[in-house]
Amino acid sequence: MATEGDDRLGPLERLERQLAFLIEIDKLKDVVRRNYLAHGERRENTAEHSWHLAMAALVLAEHAEEPVDLGRVVPMLLVHDLVEIDAGDTFCYDPVAHLDKEEREQRAADRLFALLPGEQGARLRGLWEEFEARATPEARFANAVDRLMPVLHNYHSQGRGWRENGVNAGQVLERNSPIGEGSAALWNRVKAAVEDAVARGLLAPAKS
């Protein structure tokens, strides 16, 4: 973990710590997710996912359920999945993988954010923790965008990821219902996409 002494680093040592962190998080480009890109030809990696979410937040902020500070939302989205460098991408429809997800991700946060100078690492970790807690308007909107984009990717790739993993409409709706906390408009759009995907055979109907 970062210590108070880290805040008294000289400029050159501070720069070296920051550069080392940037090189370390380059590994996020190697973390492959279950969903496919919109064109369906290959899977998305987590770095691409984070970039796309940041852009989505900039574009969709007017649909947030409450006013949000994009100066917090965008950095939150850029750091929210850094822990996957160590913890891996936990498939959201795999209950067994979720049993130790929090423990794995906390250990990853301990290591990764400690690479930075103390106050900088603490600030970025704070954004990560805020995202996880979903207790602020910014975190609720960031979570809404985080859940929205995989639905859109699956929908536009003809349901490839859904079908390969045996996912049904009930699971998609249950998993993504928190979108409504961050944006009713985005949640209504997701529900419409799920209904259309079922009608077109891209997604299995909910189990009765």
Q: Where are the domains of the chain?
A: 9-199
Residue (of 199, 189, 125) closest to 159 by Cα position:
199
- CA 75 → CA 70, 81, 154, 165, 191, distances in Å? 8, 11, 25, 31, 28
Per-residue pLDDT of the chain (208 residues; tens, 9 = 90+): 444 456 688 999 999 999 999 999 999 999 999 999 999 999 999 999 999 999 999 999 999 999 999 999 999 999 999 999 999 898 888 888 788 999 999 999 999 999 999 999 999 999 999 999 999 999 999 999 999 999 999 999 999 999 999 999 999 999 999 999 999 999 999 999 999 999 999 999 999 8
Q: How far apart are CA 57 and CA 68, in angstroms?
A: 10
Calpha distance 179→74 (Å, rounded): 17
pLDDT value of position 1? 43
Alpha-carbon distances of 68 from 14, 71, 132, 147, 181, rounded to whole Å: 32, 9, 17, 18, 13
- Give CATH for domain 9-199: 1.10.3210.10
**Residue 195: what residue type?**
E
- Please state, as a whole number, how many other Cβ atoms lie within 10 Å of the Cβ of residue 91: 16
From the centroid of its chain, how far is CA 88? Answer: 12
Q: How far is CA 18 from CA 21, 31, 204, in A?
A: 5, 21, 46
